Copies of this chain bind each other. A is one copy, B any other.
C-alpha cells in the first residue's frame, strides 16, 4: 500500500483545522480545545494488515482551562503561524531554531527543547502531516548513497539538478538531504536489482571500495546507526516506486535487530507515521546469530543489557515470526554478539567475495 502524502495546500488546510477548532469554541464563549490521540503505549497497536505500528482510537482533549494547557494552545498557534510563514517564504528551520525563535512569543515561549519537539509531534499526529511538510528538521545529517541511481534534486535556488549517485559524486557518495519528498527529490531511472542498507560507515566504505554496487547491481545506503527519517523515507520511496527489494546489513546484536524492526515495521515513537516511514518488504540479511557460528566470527559476550533487550524482543509483535524467534533464542543460547566488520578476520575482501554472495543467494538475489 502506497500512503499518499499531503500537498502544500493540504498541509495548510490541515493546520487551519487546528486553529478552527480553537476559534469555533472561542466565538461561542467556550474555552478553546485541541483534540489529539492518546500517546501512551496502551493506545499503540501493531496493525497486522499494514504490518506496522499504529495509534488506536483513544482521544484526549487539551483545553485552555488551566494555565499550563492554555500556554500549550498558545504555543500551538504560534508554531502554526511560524510554519505557514516558512511555507510561504520557502524556508525551513531546525527544531532547535524554533525553540530559540519562541523567545519572542511572550507567554508562548518554550521552556525546553523537549516541549517544542513534542508539540511538533502533536501537530503531526493531529494533522496527519509529516514534520517535513512543516519545514521542520532535526540536526542530524542524512545518510550517504552510492549506486547507479539517477534522481533529480530541487536545490535551494529552486532549480532541478540531475544527479547520478555513482557517476556524479565522489567516493563519499550522494548526501541525502533532510527532505526527500516529491517537491525536493524525484527518482528518474536506475539500473539496480536491490538496495542494501548498511549500519556502519566502515562497512559502507568497504563495499564502495570493493565495487560491490557495480559487481552486484545494487545501491548502497549508509544508515548511520538508527536511521534518520529522511533515510527511512528515501529507502521506502525507492522500494515502492521502483518495486525494489531492500536488504538490511547490520551488526549482529539486539540493538541492530531493533534498527531492522524500525525500518521494516516502524517505531513506537513514530507510530503515527509508520505508513510513511516503514518498509515492510525489507529483509534482514545479517549478521545473524547463526552467521556467528557458521563463519566462526570474532565475537563479544552479551552484556546484561543485551540479554534484557533480547528478552524484550521475544515478546515484541514485530519479532513474532518463527525465523526471528529462532535467531533471538539462538543468540541468547550462544551468549555472543558480533560486528559486521568482524568479517575482516578473513581479509578485506571476504565480505564481498564470500559472505554477501552466499547470503544473497539464500535470499534469491544472487
Binding site for B on A (CB under 8 A): 86, 91-94, 96-98, 100-101, 103-104, 137, 139-142, 144, 153, 155-157, 161, 163, 168-178, 200-202, 205-206, 208-209, 211, 224, 298, 339, 341-348
Question: Given the complex of chains A and B, what is the CA–CA distance between A174 and B170 in angstroms?
Answer: 8
The closest CB in chain B to the CB of A349 belongs to B91
The closest CB in chain B to the CB of A341 belongs to B96
With A97-B341, A100-B344, A348-B97: A153-B171 Cβ-Cβ less than 8 Å: yes
With A172-B142, A205-B178, A206-B97: A345-B156 Cβ-Cβ less than 8 Å: no
Q: Is the CB of B175 within 8 A of A209?
A: no
Chain B residues positioned under 8 Å from A168 (CB to CB) = 168
What's the nearest-Cβ distance from chain B to residue A249, in Å? 15
Chain B residues positioned under 8 Å from A206 (CB to CB) = 94, 97
Chain B residues positioned under 8 Å from A156 (CB to CB) = 171, 208-209, 211
CB-contact partner of A202 in B96, B202, B342, B346, under 8 A: B96
Question: Given the complex of chains A and B, what is the CA–CA distance between A86 and B344 in angstroms?
Answer: 14
Chain B residues positioned under 8 Å from A178 (CB to CB) = 205
Q: Is the CB of A201 within 8 A of B170?
A: no
Question: Given the complex of chains A and B, what is the CA–CA distance between A103 and B345 in angstroms?
Answer: 6
Question: Given the complex of chains A and B, what is the CA–CA distance between A298 and B97 in angstroms?
Answer: 12
Question: Given the complex of chains A and B, what is the CA–CA distance between A206 and B211 in angstroms?
Answer: 35
